[in-house]
Structures are given as C-alpha cells and as structure tokens.
Structure 1
Amino acid sequence: MRSDESKPGNVTKAAERLKVGFVLARSFTLSAFAMFVDTLRLASDEDDRSGRIHADWQVLGSTRHLITSSCGIQVAPTSDFVDPSRYDYIVVVGGLLSVKEPVDRETVNFLKKAALQKVPLIGLCTGTFILAEAGLMKGHVTCVSWLHARAFQERFPDLPVRSDRIFNLDRRRGSCAGGSSAADIAAALVRRHISPHAEKKALEVLQIVKARSSADVQPRRALEEKYEDPRIRAVMIRMEQHLDEELDMGDLGSAVGLSQRQLERLFQKSIGTSPARAFGKIRMERARLLLAQSSASLIEIALDVGYRNSAHFSRAFKREFGHTPSSLRSRKAVVN
C-alpha cells in the first residue's frame, strides 16, 4: 500500500492523489458508499469546495447502466473497467444478500485482475461476500456485521471471520461492517495517504468527533447467535431490544411456549445461568460499551440499561466487572 508524505497545507500533485475505484453491487447499501466517498471528498480539498486535489474516485462498471441501491436510489458508473493499477484501492460496496448475482462475470474478472496486480481490495458491508465468492479473501481475516456473521460462516466455512470489530485492514484486503464504519475505514486511508489534518477536517464536516480504529467493537453484537436453541435466541433478542425495561421472566417464557420454570431450566442447561442473570450480563456489557465509546453521563447510561439511579447501577457494574463505571471512565481519559 502506497505511502504519502504530504503535510497539512501542501497541495498534492495529481499524480500523487489517493485514487479509489468503487464497484457497486446490485441493491448496494447507499449509506456505506456515501459515507466512504464523502470522507474522501471532504478530505480532498479545503473548506467545502469538493475539489479533487488530494484524492480522486470513480464508480466503475461493466456497463454505464444505472445501478439501483437497496433503498431505490440509482447511481451511474462514471468509468468503464480500466487498468486496475490506476487505482490505489478498489472498494466493493455490497448490499442485499438475497440478490443471487450481485455482480456480473466481467466484474468478477476485473476484481481478480486487480488482485493479481496487487491492488488492495476493500469490501464494504456485504462486499466481502462478493470478494470471498471470487476466492479473493483466502488468507485474510474478514470483518462483517454481526447481522451477517452467521451467513458468512455458513457460506465460507474455511475463511476466518470476525463480527466484533467495525473494520479490518489486512495487508492487501480490507473489510468493514458497513454503515458509519465506512467513514472510519475511509478516514484511516485518508490519514495514511493524505494527512491527519485532512482526516480531521473531513470528520469535522461530517459531524464525527473522532474516527474509530480497527480495535473498536461494533455497537451491538448479536449475543443470541451463540446459541443453537431457537427459543434461547428469541429470548436473547427480546432482552437486547428492551434493555431499559424491566422484563418479566414469565412473559419471556410464554413468548416461546414455556413456563417460567421451564425457561429457567432451559437456560441453566444450555448456557449455565438463569434468564435473569443473562439479562443482567447483557445490560452490563452494553453499559461497558457506552462508557468506553460515548460521552454520555453515568445517569444517562444507567437509564439506558434499565437502572433508575446511578448508585444502584454503579454497584451492579462493580459486581460484574470488579471496578466502578467511574474508574473505567478515568482509565479511558488517561489513555486518550
């Protein structure tokens, strides 16, 4: 991957611009594409002029036909498939997994040619499925959304995948969970190839306080996907959806055709704890994530996970993790 020695305020020559080619799948995710390309656009010029000074980008296609996103908005390719080596990165924007042929054969051949020429390939959202289907993710760790982790594992059982991180840059491959994490991976490339100044400017315009790193975890992890029993998965989903409420364990059992006692026995046998204890752990994990990745006050976080006062919340948090929420915040402040 090319390095760039440009400094804040310097104008990068056209030949040195960060060049990105986008490949859009049928029913691609518009938000992921927009977040990535707008991070490039805002980093490429000063103020809000959108000039292609430090970066350039094209939407590549085998035809110039409009490509329809999953929300119905259409985008027209701006370039045919040219020599992949013209680009520093080829970014594949995926979309709905229900689409049987998200890209055509000519597109697959173009991606394979880019890989042979050692052009780094990045999959946004489910774009990693397209790369993996083409055999282009072997030897690389793939980052996907928790929402798509099981589908990826089932379709590509021999490929390492993780759904706990928001993005991954692995030698000549990149991948991200989609959504706002597309801005984070784009910011990492801007910082690497243009400058930290350009990254900061782009994020400020996008109203993003700070880019997340590849070490940051996804805001929500599908805890229920760990369990085979569909009744446990259904209960876990309901718990995650109602963290700020008091849930009646009897009602949870009834929702999956079990009495409260039967639900407790099922949980104890399958995961070694009670439903109430599992609910408490989910709440605390959510609280720890909010403490680490948000500036919300303790009382706001307490209310978000179902506690009506910060003192009760702090005691429960300390029982779970061995330290108070305040001490975790203090350590975070020292690190930052």
Structure 2
Amino acid sequence: MDESRQMPEHDPSPDPNQPRLRIGFVLTPRFTLSAFATFVDVLRLAADDGDGSRPIRCRWRVLSPDMAPVQSSCGMRIEPEERLGDPTRFDYIITVGGLIDGGPGLSPDQAAFLRRAALARVALGGLCTGVFAMARIGLMDGYRCCVSWFHHQDFLAEFERMRPVSDQIFVVDRDRISCSGGVSAAHLAAFLVDRHLGRAAARKALSILMIDEPMAGDRPQPGLPLELNARDPLVRRALLAMQQNLHAPLSIARIAKDLGVGRRKLERHFNADLGLPPADASIRIRLAQARMLLARTDRTVTRIAEETGFCDASHLIRVFRETEGTTPDLWRQNRVPLAQDAP
C-alpha cells in the first residue's frame, strides 16, 4: 500500500446528481448500536436540508455477505441493505465493533472484503472496538489507531507490538480512521462531513443532535477517572498517558515526545494548570491507585508496588509514608471502609 496516500479529498466540483460522501458499514456480531447510530445520524442530517433525512449529499449502506440480520450488544438487530460486492463504490468502509468477546468477529467473507478495500485504496475506519477486528486481520499494521481508555489494556494484551492512542477521541492516520466510541463517533462523522461537504453541514448536523460544536480528534477522551483535575488539554492528555501506564511508568521526556511537545513546555503547562511538575503528578496518580488497591483488595504490598510502577515494596512504603504519614499496611488496617468499597 502507498503509505503516503491521504484520505479522500473533497471534490471542488462534484457531480450534483451523485452523493459527495459514500460510506459502507460492516457490522461485527454484538456491535455497539450507539456508536453506529450516532455516526449515521450525523450523515443523515448532513445529507439533506433540514432534517429530511434523504441520502442526497451522503449515502450510507449496511453491508453483508449473506443479508442476515446482525445483532447488536443491546439485543436489537439491524437488517443489511446490500451485499459486500465491490468496495470501490464507497469512499470509506467503516467496521463497527462492540463486545470484545461478543462472538466470532469478522466472517471470512467480511475479512476478504476489507482486504480488497485496502488493496483498492479505499479508506478504512473502525468505530468503538472496530479497530480490534481490523487489527486481527492485519489492516492496522503500521497505523496509529484510537482505542477507548476502557479497552486500552485489552488492546495491549492482544496486540503486544502495537501502541494504541487512548488519550484522543479519534485518530486519522492516512487512509485509516478510528474513534473510541460513544459520542466521539459523532465527531469523527462530523470530521468527514466537514471534509467532503463543508463545515456548515457538519455544524448543522451536530447542532440538531444538540452537540455544541465539532471537537478535534486530539481532544482528550472523557470518562477516565483522574486523581488530578486538569483543565489544560495538553495536561489532561499527559495525565491519561500516566494513568494508562501505571505498571510501567513512562518517562516525562517520553510522554512529552509522544504528545509532540518539548519537556520544558510540558512542565510549564503542568505548573500553570496544576501547580506541580509532571513527575510529582505521576507519583500522585500511582499513589491514588495504590490506595484504591489497598482499600478494595487483599493484594500484598509487594504486588501493589509492582502494579503501580514502584521499584519494589520498600520504594512504595517510603513514598507512602512521606505522603500519608504511615505505612501501607497500617493505613489499610486503620482506614474506615466506605460504602463504595463494597463489592
């Protein structure tokens, strides 16, 4: 594949009788209905004037090798509209994932269809855990992909040589697009609408869906609980990287490099937003995880030290005593159980 190729460009003089954005959907067993429906709704609202829902400027079809209904993770079924056929009739083929262990995954026919699309240089995308399905058949090799923070470790466990992006709502890497699911599907769809139909169409679709404005792909993913409440997007993304690598903490220089900034710039942003350097923030996040494990599990201090990135139990005990004034074991014995600690 020509890795220099970019995504399909907006045609400045499109045929008025043809849709300017054509998308085919491949649904995996137990796919996430909300991500699929949200993405389609943006297309639907951008495709016509008002909310007429006519597929004039956009066209979308659910594809299938056998036309059998596909069951979503919530139990509802979607009826396919077309057989797989020739992938070049679409600008994008989007794979919609769902439950990681929800079934057999892509069928051989679906996998062959996606590989044909890749060879034909049709842009491919993954919604929610759709990138898992694509990675399993080798279609994400050499590409960056977006994975929800909730499934970050699941992805690493299955694809050891790949490093997913879990601090952004969606990722565009040449002719691959992916998003973390949920409302980020709307923002990825709006990105494509903006690219092919214009910004006004994208904003109109989101407005009708009561979404304030389009979000850029590098917006931090919401939802991941953090020990520190940061407002600066750069700081939030750095905190997410720390949270996602508790067992093997990244150096501050590595985090800054991954975020595309210098270490000094990252430190300035941390000091301005949180009043402490990144290294101290990393310690606080790891200590918060250690306290949670002490409170809610019976794991040993040695095991907890390993899982939270401390050198050994002695290192955790020393840092814990400096901040809490006691050892982890005594803290665990003397703390008052809270309601949320109950299983």
TM-score by length of structure 1 reads 0.69
Could you tell which deviates more after superposition, 22-31 or 94-103?
94-103
Residue 259 (structure 1) shift: 11
The 5 Å alignment of 1:262-273 reads 269-270=315-316, 273=319
Change over 3 Å in CA distance of 1:188–1:268 after alignment to 2: farther
Residue 152 in 1 paired to residue 193 in 2? no
Q: Deviations over 1:275-326 (max 9, x none)?
A: 9969xxxxxxxxxxxxxxxxxxxxxxxxxxxxxxxxxxxxxxxxxxxxxxxx
Q: Distance in 2 between matches of 1:83 and 1:254?
A: 56
Match of 1:143 in 2: 146
Q: Deviations over 1:60-110 (max 9, x none)?
A: 001111100000111010000121000000000001011341121000000
The 5 Å alignment of 1:302-313 reads none
Residue 227 (structure 1) shift: 3.2
Match of 1:117 in 2: 120
Residue 181 in 1 paired to residue 187 in 2? no
Structure 2's unaligned 5+ residue stretches are 1-6, 226-241, 249-284, 325-343
Change over 3 Å in CA distance of 1:270–1:104 after alignment to 2: farther
Query: Secondary structure of 1:23's match?
Result: strand
Q: Say if 1:6 and 1:12, in contact at 8 Å, map to a contact too.
A: no
Q: Distance in 2 between matches of 1:14 and 1:152?
A: 42
Residue 38 (structure 1) shift: 0.5
Match of 2:45 in 1: 42
CA RMSD in angstroms, aligned pairs only: 3.3
Change over 3 Å in CA distance of 1:18–1:154 after alignment to 2: same
- What is the letter of the counterpart of residue 108 of structure 1? A
Q: Say if 1:12 and 1:54, in contact at 8 Å, map to a contact too.
A: no
- What is the letter of the counterpart of residue 315 of structure 2? K
Q: 1:227 aligns with which of 222, 225, 246?
A: 246
Residue 167 in 1 paired to residue 158 in 2? no
Q: Say if 2:287 and 2:320, in contact at 8 Å, map to a contact too.
A: no
Query: Secondary structure of 2:195's match?
Result: helix
Change over 3 Å in CA distance of 1:228–1:100 after alignment to 2: farther
Q: Distance in 1 between matches of 2:318 and 2:141?
A: 36
Aligned residue pairs total 260
% identity of equivalent residues: 38
Residue 133 in 1 paired to residue 136 in 2? yes
Match of 2:280 in 1: none
Residue 52 (structure 1) shift: 1.1
Match of 2:297 in 1: 256
Q: Say if 1:267 and 1:274, in contact at 8 Å, map to a contact too.
A: no
Query: Secondary structure of 1:40's match?
Result: helix
Q: 2:87 aligns with which of 73, 84, 88?
A: 84
Q: 2:8 aligns with which of 2, 16, 26?
A: 2
Q: Say if 2:19 and 2:59, in contact at 8 Å, map to a contact too.
A: no
Residue 210 in 1 paired to residue 229 in 2? no
Residue 14 (structure 1) shift: 3.3
Change over 3 Å in CA distance of 1:16–1:257 after alignment to 2: closer
Residue 226 (structure 1) shift: 2.8
Change over 3 Å in CA distance of 1:263–1:175 after alignment to 2: closer
Residue 153 (structure 1) shift: 1.2
Q: Distance in 2 between matches of 1:13 and 1:143?
A: 34
Could you tell which deviates more after superposition, 219-228 or 149-158?
219-228
Residue 51 (structure 1) shift: 1.1
Change over 3 Å in CA distance of 1:228–1:215 after alignment to 2: closer
